[in-house]
Amino acid sequence: MSAPVSYTVLENAIGVLFRDKELLLQALVHRSAARESRAHGNNERLEFLGDAVLELVTTEYLFRISTKPEGELTNWRSALVQGSHLADVARELKLGEYLFMSRGEEASDGRNKQSTLANALEALIGAIYLDRGFEVAQEFCLEFILQDLTKLLAAGKDKDEKSMFQEIVQDKVGVTPHYEVIEEDGPDHDKHFTSAVFIGEEKVAQGTGNSKQRAEQAAAKEALIVKGWK
């Protein structure tokens, strides 16, 4: 299904003029778009690359701007690259309007799904890196993603609920909580997991997400509320 907006508008919005338009197109093809995927490939490989580029850019940026210890910088990096933040950036760029996807995916509000938008933004970073090099990809990340650090820290987005829950449980009970996937559903390109967190044999809470890690984070967040520790 064709995206409804000219790619020139997107290039102007991000300040990057692609030499190879096919790379830009590939970054915007969701896996559900079978016809476009056959012609151009979907954006999963570019997402894989873009994720690595973003992590390197973010790590170097934080290393240069702060002398905080490794653990704190790791939490800052997590806040910057977490799916919810990347999806918000993608929405600001109206990235969902440019995506190729199946009619069924679009009908299920696919253009606004957090995972789809976050993945597309990472794929875009991968495409910029291949087409224009590391410095241009770095500039893009600095302008649209990393500049939100102060705002994210003020909102407490650097707080990792899973780590927080583990520290509290170890302090209060003397054991380490563990997680189990209790359900997974959805097609391969849009998997959803439900994970439960346990203290010993006690099932404290459960949460869902589009990856096991995010499901565990959601479970830990709910467990903090259930226990009255947040």
Catalytic residue ranges: 51, 122
- Cα separation, 220 vs 226, in Å, equals 10
Residues in contact with 213: Cβ distance below 8 Å, sequence separation at least 6, in sequence order: none
Cβ–Cβ contacts within 10 Å for residue 130, how many?
19
- Cα separation, 181 vs 26, in Å, equals 33
Q: Decide: residue 143, CB within 10 A, 0-12 exposed, 13-18 middle, 19+ buried.
A: exposed
Pick from 119, 115, 139: nearest CA to 26: 119
Q: Across the strands, what pairs with 196?
A: 180, 206
Q: Across the strands, what pairs with 22?
A: none
Residues in contact with 12: Cβ distance below 8 Å, sequence separation at least 6, in sequence order: none
Query: What is the DSSP pairing of strand 202-209 with strand 192-199?
Result: antiparallel
Beta-carbon-side half-sphere exposure of residue 168 (alpha carbons within 13 Å): 16
